[in-house]
Amino acid sequence: MKKKMITLAMVLFTFLSCSNKDYFDEGHVDLTPGYTIEEEDTYKVYTLNHPCLMHTNDDFQYVVGKIKTGAQPWGAAWEFLEQNPYTQLNENWTTDAPEILLRNSSGGNFKVAREPGLAAYYLALRWRIAEGLGEEDAYKYADKAVKILDNWSTVCKAIQVENTNDHYALVTGFDGHRFAQAAEVMRDYQPWVDNGGFSKFQTWLKNVVAGPATYFISQKTDPYWSWGGWEVPNVAIMLAIGIVCDDQDMVNEAINYYKHGPSSGCIQHLVVALHQDPAGLGEGYCLGQADESGRDQDHAGLSMATLAPMCQAAYNIGEDLYGIKANDSFTTEDGRVYNRYPKYAEYGDVNLTLAFFEYYAKFNCDPIEAVDMPFTYWETRHGKQNEISYQGRGHFYAGYEMIYSHYKHVKGVSAPYSKKFAEKYRPATSIHPFEYDNDFPGIGTLMFYKGE
């Protein structure tokens, strides 16, 4: 098994000692490296009850039941999906795939992949729900969805990887995410399975998307040289494709990386500081400053938008990434127990993943609201971050309906800023109806709202 190196500095990090707690509270971080211990990757055989990425059969049954009874806001959200341009029965996006998909610092043709991926996903949702509602023409939406997916698995041969330019990883992490979500829902469409289309698409996902993604992650070994907005999407797509393709090795690689990987695709490097909420809405050290919070909010949000579905998929197969705690530990082969996140262990059972979600939500829910945001100095290869960045503040990404639903209804814990963000984009009068997003699969109200 692969070994991940983590830095242990339980007593060497001065801000974690009881006598120096105030030093941390004032916004200082001691970055002195300590000694290292090798943590072995764990390996589990996960039960994959398909579909099990963002949505399960139980989820679809719940939504269908609400629509059948005319319950709101599900009924109106379903009407929104029905009327959405991406779910119409025309030939749009069925012949768009290029042979080579390219993205680099100079540009590329990558934008051609966005709308086909979204259309395939939204059509997949429309098919599953319409079928559950007993609509006779539901299969037509499935036929169009798989026509889009077949076009890509037939025509697109590669995502071009350039060793001097990492922009290809944005294609794998973002565009791959849309296609994988669509395929996981459509795997239950028997005509697609019978004609070999699903198997062909699985191969395409592994060869064309997962190959470059795993290569990219393998090159990231230092948080100083990494960005969460690039790495989290690629760890997430590795997990997604592992699930779609029933590849237990890839599933385990992604989960292990998020738990104890060496750079910002891992929670301990994605969150660079924990803070108490000056407003007092959250309890304890409930705000987790991200590695890109001082860069801009557009990039900080990319981590959120892909981490949420990653956590949801992991939870659906029995791995609780939503619940990662500051004092989590691991045991070595000789039976010794170590803190997995030594710089945070002092903070006990603080939920690191939730803290990350809450920090972004607090600052970005209302871009004109004056909020007191704690911030700890951070430095990467791109320079020093002395304060939170207002650039891109208020950027909307889908995901908070999913996040809030899990913490509220599954874990029963408070997530006040995630709640606020979810509520903002729930009404039909919002500029983003029902948490709909043009970058990442949304329609959060329809698929994740569970009531108050």
Q: Reply yes or no on whether the pLDDT at 440 is more than 90.
A: no
What mean pLDDT comes out for the span 120-135?
98
- Pair 442, 426: CB distance under 8 Å: no
Confidence of residue 120 (pLDDT cuts 50, 70, 90): very high
Burial, 204: exposed, middle or buried (Cβ in 10 Å; 0-12, 13-18, 19+)? buried
- Who wins on pLDDT, 351 or 432? 351
Among 17-21, 29-33, 333-337, name the most confident range: 333-337
Instruction: Quote the DSSP letter at residue 196.
Output: T
Contact 212, 159 (CB under 8 A): yes
The Cα–Cα gap between 245 and 247 comes to 5
Give dist(CA 183, CA 201) in Å, integer.
8
Residue 165's pLDDT is 87
Percent of the chain residues topping a pLDDT of 70: 92
- Whether residue 185 has pLDDT greater than 90: yes
Angle at 449 between CA 448 and CA 452, to 5 degrees: 145
How confident is the model over 211-229, as a mean pLDDT? 92
Strand partners for 217: none
Quick check: 133 and 67 in contact, CB under 8 A?
A: yes
Q: Does 406 score more than 50 pLDDT?
A: yes
**335, pLDDT greater than 70:** yes
Q: Tell me the pLDDT band of 130, cut-offs 50, 70 and 90.
A: very high
pLDDT above 90 for 32? no
pLDDT tens digits along 253-281: 999 999 999 999 999 999 999 999 999 99
Beta strands in 233-340 (DSSP E): 271-275, 287-290, 329-331, 337-339
pLDDT digits over 84-115, tens only? 999 999 999 999 999 999 999 999 999 999 99
